[in-house]
Chain A
Amino acid sequence: MLTLALNTFRERWRLFAGAITAVALGVALVQSSLLVMVATDRAPIPAGVTGRAREELREGYAGAATLLGMTVMLSAFLTVFIVSSTFAFTVAQRRRDLALLRLVGGGRGQLVLLLLGEALLLGLTGTAAGVLVGLPATWLQARLLIALGFLPGGFPLVWDGGVLIASGCVGITVALVGVLAAARRAAKVRPLDALRDTGGAARVMTPMRWLAGLSCLAFTIWMVSLAQSADLLGAMLMGLGISIMGAVSLSALSPLVVPLAGRVVGAVLRTSTLGELAQANLRDGVRRSASTAAPLIVLVALLLGLTGTLGSLALMSGEEQRHLVRGDLVVTSTGADLDRIESVPGVAAASPQISLSMSVTARHHEANRTWRQTHYSGIVAIDAAAYARTHDLHVRAGSLARLRGRTIALGPGMAESGIRVGSTVTAAISGHKTRLKVVAALRATLENYSETFLVPRDLVPASTIATAKAETVIRLAPGTSRSTARTAMRAAGADKVQTVPQWADTRTAAQQRGNMGILAVLMGMAGGYAVVAVINAVMIAGTERRTEFAAARVTGLTRPQVIRAALIESWAVTAIGLVLGCTVAAGALAGMLAASLRAAGRPLVDVPWTLLGITTLAAFAVTGAASIWTTFSATKPRPVALLAARE
């Protein structure tokens, strides 16, 4: 059996090229991710750095680990997806060969073994390539994580031979898992199929596919309807769920949905002869059309759905900040200039928020667990009275009015941390340890990295305040000109004077940057896989159509006409895939729309148009190029030679 597998593999390596690339990519990514993770685990935290820097390093490593973990999962999933669709193709294509094996005495188990053997060879080849590609990939990934701010510059990479075992296991497992469905289908091929052209094995919609497609579709529709009445966070989580489930559902059902959509496209295509031929082929070659459209559906749904959902969340979080702050200007300066800024003529109220480098050690309670933790970032000093005048306060417990003397309040960033109001925390300000009583807790906001602790300004020594960075919300007295006030503020030492909407936008943009970076990395990777999958599908389909193309040429089509008809078909399938993907993304964003209408009274949905435009152009370019190239090389031999060589 292994000899036969080896022979098939050698004979049909072109068919497997896409799957090998996918396995190699998967192995490279898993290997580099593991190596970077090992490196973060071993990276020493430099001696003598401040607690705050240590906390930042640790948070960066945790962020990197999350990103790497998601990378590993996603790449494993996508590799299995590509390998399994490749094998589904080869089984459909080789039905006669497989039936022939059954005819000369091959048992079902032997056919399964044959395919497993092929998958093993594919896995080994892919792994070997992946291990080599993984070496530069590790370096690239580390650079990327440094650029995203997860890892410190000059982060030392390490090599661990253990990852080779992991790489091998991943490559081979992924290939074997990918072949399982196809192997099961191959075992069902009947010996008589060697003599006939149709039969049970020609079916594309298997019961498993129906089950997976319909159950995911039902779940997606349920989530879309639920998202209409969910709160913002629920709508966001459901948006992510809808993107993933909807993509899986439509790609499983694509053999049904794509030809159906093809009828709509057909109305346009039928106007020309070539278009008519393309449309007929699109409906006839269900497996081919579906395998090209499926990766596009998954990519577009995930790309637009996730980016749109997170983008909309950023929009709403900006909107929230705008509503929380009741002021005209936000001024950035050092603590030393605060007094001069507050005394600018026309200032009715000024509420400074001074960022401090101090630490707070608090006891957290959660379910039946309790622990102490020291926090360094997001601690600010405020003037409670001024803060209340310039903010729309949402206090969860306690009262901000009591924030005076040796007290502390929990900011939105600590709302869900389990620190109790009324408990005592230890603060270290400029080297002095003080015990502070928790007197209030603010409600959580949509932001990711909000203020963690608020301390009264009078608690902090003036010398510390003078060097700290401050943001002051200014309310102007009625009749004061904004531009005059701005000029005066700058003269008083302000670094930056912004309106509240400007400030809110900058703030959310900065906070979303991390999210978007993670998303960009993951989606860039998914995009790479989609490109491999689409090229793979177009190329495999093109090679199997040599006789079909030859027949078309014998009927009277010129070679350029054949190429054009195939191109029209590919592009029609691409358009269908894009539209279906957008449908899923729209379902995901519908929940965000409903939530924003309820929360803010106006639609706050970030439709990533630029991304959609780029994806559309790239999809048409990639499928177009792959289609032209495969049709060109499939029509190279004289048509008669191909037709005669059929039997």
Chain B
Amino acid sequence: MTLPSLSLADFFPLLPAILMVVGACILLLSEVFLSATSSRAYQAVLTVVTSVAAGAVAVAMMFEPPREVMLGFGVLDPFSSFLTFVVSVCVGLAALSSVGFLRNRGAERGEFYALMLFASAGMSLLAMSNELITLFVNIEVLSIATYALTAYLRRGTRPSEAGFKYFILGAFSSAVLLYGAALLYGATGTTNLSAMVGPLGGAMQAQPALVYTGVVLVGAGFAFKIAAVPFHMWTPDVYEGAPSPVSALMSAGVKAAAFAAMVRVFFTLGQGIDPRLPLALFSALAFLTMVGGNLLAIPQRNVKRMLAYSSIAHAGYLLLGVAALFVTAPGEQFRLLGPSELTGGSPLDLARAGALRGILYYLLAYTFSAVGAFAMVSALERREDEEKGTAWDLERFSGLAQRRPGWAFAMAAFMLSLGGIPPTIGFMSKLLIFQSAVDAGLIGLTIVAVLSSAAGVYYYLRVVVYMFMRPVPEGAQVLERNWGTELALVVSTAAVVVLGIIPGPITAWLEQAGTLFGR
């Protein structure tokens, strides 16, 4: 029995996740020494500092050469580093918006922030996973932390109900994914994604049923995680019942990490199986998710629930990008995009490289817009109304422009961005995805995407109309200001507007981030 020898430098690629775990442990341990009345303001600050540090390390890692790390169980490539950056942004903003939320409910505890950091460490590692069991363990690390966060508030029936639904469907989907992974292991004899590419072709000849069942089960497991229609039933209830900052973390961070893992797994599988299978799978899911998410969001008067359905719709646009990744010319063998294809391959290669960049840009754009919108929701809701279910009604937004013009402006920016209206980051990211889908030849599906996103503008603009054109209702609640929420709003609004006008810095960066390990 020989133990692998790892030097300290071998752990460097895990640094963002290590920072997050260390931050979480400090939060957990320091909580022990506090009494019930001690000030806990440092906890959010520590979480934000940790996520900023992790994000900065991730940015530095974008320029590392892509390679296998940790004995091939993970990979360090610009793709995973970019996802770590997105996750850090998401957890930092969500932590800022939790300050006021938790204080209003008398629920400020170190565990909350520690669980957020554990979840984000899982997300960061999930984006790096290159082995099916590592992938499963990281999915569980992030899921278990988010189950606990969902049911974190002990008062009332909603949080435990949301936690229960999320737990059952999350555990169910993990089990489906794991069974699919077991079948793929049986077919190929390895769980390592890089090593799987070789035997997959032979396994397709010998046991096609085994491989196809495995692929479909893994796909279904991921479809649950990203809340694609028809695997979305849990989403609205969970997002509504969870604390708003946690809904933000789930809708942006969990989704981003799951998309990253899904893209990586199917890039591997696509080289062994017929790429038309993932293309058909993702096209069907994209169609159902875009149309279903938008249609279900239209009748919602509950803004938090509307954001949940909108998050489903956005998963649909992302799936359109994922489908575009698997378009191949007739008779062409599917292969990964190397540095040469990223900059100057055939038109189809360029379209697929564009789709990959579009997905990454979209994840960043969605993170800023959705986390900001959920921060706004958490600033307006009041604990007393939660059981009645009116805490998130559209009426809350009536006349907001007269009472807090800054908040109304920020929320308008998030809504326009989610609706894909220029000059916001949401418009730029939709443009990138739709353009590359057209270049890849998915014209019918892109038309559906454009039409359904036009339908989506209706329910986003309705919020704006309520804020700017409705009078302030009689006896409206006092709007409490909180430094955390306001800082989160300022940062996300600035990102949404500035990156919508000048996308240059990020797109130049994405030239790099489209590089996946494995060519």
Is B one of A's binding partners? Answer: no
Interface of B toward A, CB cutoff 8 Å:
none
Interface of A toward B, CB cutoff 8 Å:
none
